[in-house]
Structure 1
Amino acid sequence: MEILLLLFLLLHLCCDLLAVKHSLKYFISGSSGVPNVPEFSGVMVVDGIQTGYCDSSNKTLKPQLDWAKKILQTNPEQLEWYTQKCFEDQPNVFRGHIFRWKRRFNQSGGVHVIQRISGCEWDENTDSVTGVLKYGYNGEGFLEFDLKTLTWIALKPEADMIKLKWDADRTRTMENEDFLTQTCAEWLKMYVDNGKRSLHRTVLPSVSLLQKTPSSPVSCHAAGFYPDRVMMFWRKDGDEIHDGVGKGDILPNDDGTFQINVDLNVSSVKPEDWWRYECVFQLLSGENIIVTKLNETMIRTNWRENIFGTGREKPSDMTVPIIPAVVVLVLIIVAAAAGFAVYKKKKGERFRSNSARLSYIISVLPYVLNMVILNLCKRVG
């Protein structure tokens, strides 16, 4: 029985890893009292990649990927829909929302922002679709649409009256249901099909070990990977660990790739045990595993440079050339003095006193110092 249960869990895990999910999200913002910011703006994101943008101030509708541009060129009905939503319908709707919601909160002037997230997620294996529609006001959740009950959920007491009003509006409810479960899914499938070359690609990251100060955690940082469905963790002796580990969020880069970091507190780790720890990056597909050993000489910091591969602090930039420079100075002075003595001896002359030797050495010091300065410059540069 236990074996059957274990096999079932493994099968379930494999199915989750092999599941291919795609998403289409619209992030909309409306604001008042915010200088130098469009009153209304919208961003379209497909599988975590920003694909299009519009704002009401510049009357800009900008598809940001080649395949998205081609879709608007070959589908005039979509171009018309986006144009109307960006420059006509939604700016007026959000303007009205802000006016009424300010009254709900007994607010007058100041800065106010409404945010809306809408869209859907499509499971390519099961063909199931889930939709999302949420409103936020001034940085906090406000209203959320429940697709199962086709009703609104008030996330703030001030949203109760709005919930009742929107629940009673059957036209609004049916339009929301149709867009989230039908239209959004159709468009998402079209976008995935047209953009599969870029959306289905696999890009492995560069993985680095970073540390801010000697007492800071060691951060395992992976940057430049795609897609964003990845696992990253620390393990010791081959087993994943959680104590002393802090995992960051997956964040987008400007080029459409992603980054993530996982920190390890090394304050209680003995230096002789560092080799037992390693950072693991893995795509959820189960392939392309990158393992990075916890190695002090590989840590990049802003407080030291491991130029000797020992982990010790790098000496000051000036200390490296100073010792050779002093040696050069002494050798040049000695050579100059010796040369002068030989020259005088050949001429049949002798030094009359130590003061004569000292006078000569002083006379050649400017030349010697000039040579030393040149030597220093070459070494420092």
Structure 2
Amino acid sequence: MKNPEILFINCFAVKHSLKYFYTASSGVPNFPEFVSVGLVDEVQMFHYDSNTRRAEPKQDWMIRATADDPQYWERDIEYLKQRFEGTGVHILQWVYGCDWDDETDDVDGYAQYGFDGEDFIAFDLKTVAWIAPKQQAFRTKHKWDRDKAWIYKTNQYLTQICIEWLKKYLDYGRSSLPRTDLPSVSLLQKTPSSPVSCHATGFYPDSATLIWRKDGEELHEDVDHGEILLNHDGSFQMSVDLNLSSVTPEDWRRYDCVFQLSGVKNDIVIKLDKSNIRTNWEKPVDTIIIIATVFVLGLILIVAVFAAVGFVAYPNTKVVVYTVISPVVVGANQ
């Protein structure tokens, strides 16, 4: 099998992220009333719940970070617990965080609430105001929009303070967090009539795209994109299928699969070629030959069985051979 064309990487930039997920619940059996999880570049850095009543750093570098600010967890958690009071028998979720591109220095932030599994209210950095997708959240929106100090603090946190903490966490976890892993890319096919699947596995982070191209242009027809899935080692995998039922063998050379990882300038390209396709399919044996072979073997088996039965039934039978002799006419003239 030919090796796919892989373009070597000279330099890359990475978009980093800091995210916090909070869940407050009341009356839910076997579930903590309050849970908090923090992620840096999709790597869990801490976990807290109301049952253990303590934050558990998930990375060694987070222990050093909390040593610099011993009250960090308690201050943040107590603040949120106060805001979540009085939710009743419901589930209230809050996610907030920020993104930072270490090449362009662009930043972005988000803060949004969900109530009983549906979007409730979110902060819009462009308008510097709260957005209420549901009528039930209008009162909260108007109240929060009038609180200019709260608006200012939210905007400042998402665009400045969150970014500062993100950079600090990246510095503490320098050896493990700024990580970019390229995948192995393969073409897979179950049978000659099946779609050809372009499969990429082992890449990190998950901000990646996998496409089919024809003559250098991205294909949208006869293409089926799969979801990005998590591997057991923390890396990711994804697939995109191409239906070749209307493509002639002569046109295969016009197609290729392209993997693109966010921040990586060069792509991984694999040409659509039969020599590049991996499959477990084997050409089936002719059905007529199989039937004829089974029939002949069956006859042989039947003959052998009858011979064995005859031998067992009459083991001591003597075989007498009679010879017929032509009669002699005696006394014909007597």
Task: Normalising by structure 2, report the TM-score.
Answer: 0.71
What per-residue deviation string (whole Å, max 9, x for no partner) do you get for residues 241-298 of structure 1?
2212233444444533222222223343346655653322233423362526364994
Return the offset for 1:90.
2.1
Deviations 1:336-370 (CA, angstroms, capped at 9, x unpaired)? xxxxxxxxxxxxxxxxxx9899527999xxxxxxx
Mapping 1:308-347, distance limit 5 Å: 308=282, 312=283
State how far apart, in whole Å, the 1-side matches of 2:212 and 2:223 are.
7
SS of 1:196's partner is: coil
Matched, 1:359 2:311: yes
Q: 1:202 to 1:359 in 2, by over 3 A?
A: same
The reply on whether 1:232 has 2:210 as its aligned counterpart is: yes
CA contact (8 A) 1:282 1:290 kept: no
Is residue 65 from structure 1 mapped to residue 81 from structure 2 by the alignment?
no
**Residue identity opposite 1:50 in structure 2:** Q
Q: Which sits farther off after the overlay, 210-219 or 52-61?
A: 210-219
Is residue 275–residue 295 contact of structure 1 (8 Å, CA) maintained in 2?
A: no
Provide the residue aligned with 1:289 in structure 2. 268
The question of whether the paired residues in 1 share the 8 Å contact of 2:256 and 2:269 is answered with: no
| C-alpha distance in 1 between matches for 2:277 and 2:106 | 45
Instruction: Tell me: CA distance 1:278–1:313, structure 2 relative to 1, closer, same or farther (3 Å).
Output: farther
Give CA deviations for 1:76-120 in whole Å, capped at 9, x if unaligned: x2x42223434x332342243x34xxxxxxxxx6xx332222111
Q: Distance in 2 between matches of 1:146 and 1:226?
A: 29
Find the residue that maps to 2:176 and give its secondary structure.
helix
Structure 1 pair 122–257 and aligned structure 2 pair: CA distance change class (3 A): same
| CA distance, structure 2, for counterparts of residue 314 and residue 116 of structure 1 | 60
* Corresponding residue of 1:31: 25
Give 1:93's aligned amino acid.
Answer: R
Equivalent pairs, count: 294
User: Which residue does 2:246 correspond to in 1?
Assistant: 268
- CA shift for structure 1 position 225: 0.6
Q: Distance in 1 between matches of 2:226 and 2:243?
A: 14
Out of 164, 177, 180, the position equivalent to 1:202 is 180
Cα distance in 1 for partners of 2:285, 2:164 equals 59
- Pick aligned residue for 1:90 from 68, 80, 84: 80
C-alpha change, 1:237 and 1:147, in structure 2 (3 Å) is closer
Instruction: Provide closer, same or farther for how the CA distance between residues 128 and 205 of structure 1 changes in structure 2, counting only shifts above 3 A.
Output: closer
Q: CA 1:166–1:239 in structure 2 vs 1: closer, same or farther (change >3 Å)? A: closer
Query: Closer, same or farther in 2 for the Cα pair 1:274/1:299, shift >3 Å?
Result: farther
Q: Secondary structure at 1:192's aligned position in 2?
A: helix
The Cα shift of 1:143 comes to 0.8
| Residue in structure 2 matched with residue 48 of structure 1 by the alignment | 42
Q: CA deviation at 1:25?
A: 1.3
Q: Distance in 2 between matches of 1:362 and 1:53?
A: 85
Q: Which amino acid aligns with 2:46?
A: G
Q: Give the aligned partner of residue 347 of structure 1.
A: none
Residue 184 of structure 1 aligns with an amino acid whose one-letter code is C
Percent identity of equivalent pairs: 46
Describe the SS at the equivalent of 2:71: helix
Distance 1:130 1:83 in 2: 26
Whole-angstrom CA distance in 1 between matches of 2:58 and 2:208? 25
Paired residues of 2:189 and 2:277 also in contact (CA < 8 A): no
Could you tell which deviates more after superposition, 184-193 or 286-295? 286-295
Q: Bigger CA drift: 250-259 or 37-46?
A: 250-259
Counterpart residue number, 2:112:
134
The offset of 1:55, in angstroms, is 1.8
Q: 1:208 touches 1:222 (CA, 8 Å); kept in 2? A: yes
Aligned residue in 2 for 1:13: none
Classify 1:160/1:297 alpha carbon distance in 2 versus 1 (closer, same or farther; 3 Å).
same
Work out the CA distance in 2 between the residues paired with 1:161 and 1:294. 60
TM-score in terms of structure 1 length = 0.64
- Greater fraction of residues in helix: 1
Counterpart for residue 3 of structure 2: none
| Residue in structure 2 matched with residue 22 of structure 1 by the alignment | 16
- Residue in 1 that maps onto 2:141: 163
Relative distance call for 1:313 and 1:361 in structure 2 (3 A) is: farther
Segment drifting more, 133-142 vs 56-65: 56-65
